[in-house]
Amino acid sequence: MAAAVLNGVTNGIASSSKIDSYLADESRFASIDKVLDRRGPWTVEEFVGGEGTKDFLRKQSKVLVIGAGGLGCEILQNLALTGFNDIHVIDMDTIDISNLNRQFLFRESDVGKSKAIVAAEFVMNRVPGVKVTPYHGKIQDHPTTFYQQFNIVVAGLDSISARRWINATLVQMAEEDEEQLKPLIDGGTEGFKGQARVILPTVTSCYECSIDMLTPPTAFPICTIANTPRLPEHCIEWASVLEWPKVHKEKKLDTDDPDHIEWLYQQASARAAQFKIEGVTWALTQGVVKNIIPAIASTNAIIAASCCNEALKIATAAAPYLNNYMMYVGNESVYTYTFEHEKRPECPVCGGESLIAEAKRDWTLERFIESLINRQDLQISKPSLSYSRGALFWPSPPDVYTATRPNLEKPLVDLLGEDEGIVVTDPALPVSVNISIKYV
Amino acid sequence: MPSSDSSEEASRPTKITKMDDSLDITSATTGTTEIPSYRPDAKTRRYDRQLRLWASAGQRSLESARVLLVGCDATGCQALKNLVLPGISHFTILSPNLTTSQDVATNFFLHPDSVGLPIAEQSVKYLKELNPAVEGFAKTEDPSSLLVTDRDFFTSFTLIIASNIQPSLELQLADLLWQTSASVGGPDIPLIAIRNSGFVGRVEIQLREHSVVDTHPDTTHTLRLDAPFAALEQHARSLDLATMDSMEHSHIPWVVLLVRAASIWRESHNGRLPESSEEKAEFKETLKKDKVKGDEENYEEALAQAYRVWGKSELPWEIQQLLNDDSVKNISANSKNLHILLHTLTQYVSAAPHLPPTSPSLPDMHSSTTSYVHLQNLYKNEYQSDLKRFKVLLSETLQKVGLEEGTVPDEEIEGFVKNVGGVGIIKGTPLIDSKMGQGLIVEAITNYQYDEYDGSSTCFAMHLAFLAAERFYASHKRWPGAKAMVNVAEDTSEVEEILKGVFGGKEVEDIFIECVAEVTRGGFGTLPTTAAFLGGVVAQEAIKLVTNQYSPLDNTVIVDLIKSQSAKFKF
Amino acid sequence: MTAAQLRVQKDLTELELPSTMTTNFPDPTDVLNFTLTITPDEGIYKGGVFRFTFNISGGYPHEPPKVRCTQKIYHPNLDLEGNVCLNILREDWKPVLNLSSVMIGIQYLFLEPNPDDPLNKEAAEDLRRNREGFIQNVKSSMRGGTVKGETFDRVLKA
Each residue's pLDDT tens digit, B232-254:
999 999 999 889 988 999 999 99
Which tens digit of pLDDT belongs to each residue from A165-213?
Answer: 999 999 989 988 899 999 999 999 999 999 999 999 999 999 999 988 8
Minimal Cα–Cα distance from A229 to chain B, Å?
A: 6
Segment 270-299 of chain B within 8 Å of chain C by CB: 296-297
User: What pLDDT, on a 0 to 100 scale, did the predictor assign at position A355?
Assistant: 86
Order of all β-strands in the sheet with A384-387: A353-359, A433-439, A421-425, A384-387, A390-393
pLDDT band for B92, please (50, 70, 90 cuts). very high
We report the CATH number of the domain holding residue A30 as: 3.40.50.720
Minimal Cα–Cα distance from B309 to chain C, Å?
A: 27
Residue C158 lies in a domain: no
Domain that holds residue C45: 3-146
Phi, then psi, of C24 in degrees rounded to 5: -130, 130
User: What pLDDT, on a 0 to 100 scale, did the predictor assign at position B550?
Assistant: 96
Mean pLDDT in residue range C67-75:
97
Rounded to whole angstroms, the Cα distance separating C156 from C153 reads 9
Better-predicted residue by pLDDT, B159 or A14: B159
Q: Is residue B22 over pLDDT 60?
A: no
pLDDT band for B230, please (50, 70, 90 cuts). very high
User: What pLDDT, on a 0 to 100 scale, did the predictor assign at position A15?
Assistant: 53
Q: How many CB atoms lie within 10 A of CB B276?
A: 8
Whole-number percent of chain B with pLDDT over 70: 93
Q: Is residue A141 over pLDDT 90?
A: yes
Question: Running DSSP on this structure, what letter comes out for residue A139?
Answer: G
Comparing C-alpha atoms, which of B448, B437, B453 is closest to residue B563? B453
Rounded to whole angstroms, the Cα distance separating A195 from B468 reads 32
We report the CATH number of the domain holding residue A269 as: 1.10.10.520
Identify the chains in contact with A, defined as 3+ C-beta pairs within 8 A: B, C
B500 touching chain A per CB within 8 A: no
Rounded to whole angstroms, the Cα distance separating B57 from B60 reads 5
We report the CATH number of the domain holding residue C105 as: 3.10.110.10
Q: State which H helix or E strand residue B233 sits in.
A: helix B230-238
Query: ipTM strictly over 0.85?
Result: yes
The alpha carbon of B334 is separated from its chain's Cα centroid by a whole number of angstroms, namely 23
Specify the amino acid at residue B466. F
Rounded to whole angstroms, the Cα distance separating A82 from A76 reads 10
Contacts of A255 (CB under 8 A, 6+ apart): A261, A286, A289, A290
Rounded to whole angstroms, the Cα distance separating B200 from B529 reads 11
Does one domain contain both A251 and A117?
A: no
Rounded to whole angstroms, the Cα distance separating B209 from B325 reads 12
pLDDT band for B220, please (50, 70, 90 cuts). low
Order of all β-strands in the sheet with C50-55: C21-24, C33-38, C50-55, C66-69
Residue C10 lies in a domain: yes
User: What pLDDT, on a 0 to 100 scale, did the predictor assign at position A76?
Assistant: 98
Does one domain contain both A226 and A144?
A: no
CB burial of residue B137 (10 Å; 0-12, 13-18, 19+) = middle
Last residue of a domain, one of A277, A311, A339: A339
Better-predicted residue by pLDDT, A378 or B149: B149
Specify the amino acid at residue B536. G
Q: What is the dihedral of CA B105, B111, B117, B123, to 10 degrees?
A: -90
Tally of domains within chain C: 1
Q: How many CB pairs under 8 A join A and C?
A: 124
User: What pLDDT, on a 0 to 100 scale, did the predictor assign at position B52?
Assistant: 94
Comparing C-alpha atoms, which of B49, B270, C42 is closest to residue A300? B49
Residue C102 lies in a domain: yes
- Strand pairing of A184-190 and A193-199? antiparallel
Residue C59 lies in a domain: yes
Residue C61 lies in a domain: yes
Specify the amino acid at residue B422. G
Q: Is residue B359 over pLDDT 80?
A: yes
Q: Is residue C11 over pLDDT 50?
A: yes
Residues in chain A closer than 8 A to B523 (CB atoms): 31, 34
Q: How many CA atoms lie within 13 A of C148 on its CB side?
A: 12
Q: Is residue C4 over pLDDT 70?
A: yes
Does one domain contain both A128 and A52?
A: yes
User: What pLDDT, on a 0 to 100 scale, did the predictor assign at position B457?
Assistant: 96
- Give the CA distances from residue B280 to residues B36, B292, B303, B304, B309, in Å, rounded to whole numbers and listed in that order: 46, 22, 11, 12, 9
Q: What is the mean pLDDT of chain A?
A: 92
Does one domain contain both A138 and A170?
A: yes
Comparing C-alpha atoms, which of B119, B126, B172 is closest to residue B145? B172
Interface test with C, best of B243, B244, B245, B247 (most C CBs within 10 A): B247
Q: What is the dihedral of CA C24, C27, C28, C31, to 10 degrees?
A: -80
Residues in chain A closer than 8 A to C59 (CB atoms): 160-161
**Residues of C with catalytic function:** 85
pLDDT band for B6, please (50, 70, 90 cuts). very low
Rounded to whole angstroms, the Cα distance separating B75 from B146 reads 22
Q: How many CA atoms lie within 13 A of B219 on its CB side?
A: 8
Rounded to whole angstroms, the Cα distance separating A37 from A56 reads 13
User: What pLDDT, on a 0 to 100 scale, did the predictor assign at position B37?
Assistant: 52
Q: What's the pTM?
A: 0.92
Q: What is the dihedral of CA C118, C123, C124, C128, to 10 degrees?
A: 180
Residue A44 lies in a domain: yes
Planar angle of CA A352, A353, A357, nearest 5 degrees:
135
Comparing C-alpha atoms, which of A278, A274, A235 is closest to residue B33? A278
C92 touching chain B per CB within 8 A: no
Which tens digit of pLDDT belongs to each residue from A63-106?
Answer: 999 999 999 999 999 999 999 999 999 999 999 999 999 999 99
8 A C-beta contact, residue A193 and residue A139:
no
Which tens digit of pLDDT belongs to each residue from B505-546?
Answer: 888 999 999 999 999 999 999 999 999 999 999 999 999 999
8 A C-beta contact, residue B118 and residue B102:
no
Better-predicted residue by pLDDT, B131 or A428: B131
Planar angle of CA A150, A155, A160, nearest 5 degrees:
130
Rounded to whole angstroms, the Cα distance separating C90 from B194 reads 48
Does the distance separating the beta carbons of B129 and A18 come in below 8 Å?
no
Domain that holds residue A391: 353-439
Nearest CB neighbour to A28, from listed B34, B48, B104: B104
Residues in chain A closer than 8 A to C119 (CB atoms): 222-223, 226-227
Q: Is residue A11 over pLDDT 60?
A: no
Comparing C-alpha atoms, which of A217, A72, A192 is closest to residue A132? A72
Q: What is the dihedral of CA A208, A209, A214, A216, to 10 degrees?
A: 60
Phi, then psi, of B209 in degrees rounded to 5: -155, 140
Look at A250-254, B184-188, B459-463 and tell me which has the smallest mean pLDDT.
B184-188
Residues in chain C closer than 8 A to B247 (CB atoms): 115-116, 118, 124, 128
Q: What is the mean pLDDT of chain B?
A: 90
Planar angle of CA B213, B215, B220, nearest 5 degrees:
110
Q: Is residue B4 over pLDDT 50?
A: no
Rounded to whole angstroms, the Cα distance separating B509 from B201 reads 21
Mean pLDDT in residue range C60-64:
92
Strands, E assignment, B71-149: 90-94, 135-139
We report the CATH number of the domain holding residue A369 as: 3.10.290.20
Q: Is residue C75 over pLDDT 90?
A: yes
pLDDT band for A420, please (50, 70, 90 cuts). confident
User: What pLDDT, on a 0 to 100 scale, did the predictor assign at position B492?
Assistant: 95
Contacts of B294 (CB under 8 A, 6+ apart): none
Which tens digit of pLDDT belongs to each residue from C22-33?
Answer: 999 999 888 999
* B353: preceding bond cis by omega (within 30 degrees): yes
Which tens digit of pLDDT belongs to each residue from B541-561?
Answer: 999 999 999 999 999 999 999
Q: What is the mean pLDDT of chain C?
A: 94
8 A C-beta contact, residue B240 and residue B462:
no
Rounded to whole angstroms, the Cα distance separating A74 from C158 reads 64
Residue C95 lies in a domain: yes
Does one domain contain both A324 and A396?
A: no
Q: Does the B8-13+49-216+529-569 domain belong in CATH 3.30.1330.10?
A: no
Which string of DSSP letters, residue by residue, matches A414-425?
HH--TT-EEEEE
Residue A348 lies in a domain: no
Mean pLDDT in residue range A115-121:
98
Q: State which H helix or E strand residue C3 sits in.
A: helix C3-13
Q: State which H helix or E strand residue B247 sits in.
A: helix B246-249
Rounded to whole angstroms, the Cα distance separating B90 from A384 reads 65
**For chain B, percent helix, then strand, then coil, each to nearest 5?**
50, 10, 40
Length of chain B: 571
Residue C153 lies in a domain: no
Q: Is residue B17 over pLDDT 90?
A: no
User: What pLDDT, on a 0 to 100 scale, did the predictor assign at position B537?
Assistant: 98
Residues in chain A closer than 8 A to C117 (CB atoms): 221, 223-224
pLDDT band for B321, please (50, 70, 90 cuts). very high
Contacts of A305 (CB under 8 A, 6+ apart): A74, A78, B529, B530, B531, B532, B533, B535, B536
pLDDT band for B30, please (50, 70, 90 cuts). very low
Rounded to whole angstroms, the Cα distance separating B515 from B357 reads 51
pLDDT band for B24, please (50, 70, 90 cuts). very low
Rounded to whole angstroms, the Cα distance separating A127 from B105 reads 8
Rounded to whole angstroms, the Cα distance separating B252 from B299 reads 9
Which tens digit of pLDDT belongs to each residue from A214-241?
Answer: 887 788 999 999 999 999 999 999 999 9
User: What pLDDT, on a 0 to 100 scale, did the predictor assign at position A131?
Assistant: 98
pLDDT band for B437, please (50, 70, 90 cuts). confident
Which tens digit of pLDDT belongs to each residue from B474-493?
Answer: 999 999 999 877 678 999 99
Does one domain contain both A46 and A184?
A: yes
Better-predicted residue by pLDDT, A279 or B14: A279
Q: Is residue B14 over pLDDT 60?
A: no
Comparing C-alpha atoms, which of B484, B517, B97, B71 is closest to residue A30? B484
Rounded to whole angstroms, the Cα distance separating C152 from B311 reads 53
Minimal Cα–Cα distance from C110 to chain A, Å?
A: 17
Look at A16-20, B90-94, B374-378 and tell me which has the smallest mean pLDDT.
A16-20
Does the distance separating the beta carbons of A222 and C84 come in below 8 Å?
yes
Does the distance separating the beta carbons of C15 and A219 come in below 8 Å?
no
Residue C13 lies in a domain: yes
Domain ranges in chain B are 8-13+49-216+529-569, 230-309, 317-424, 433-524
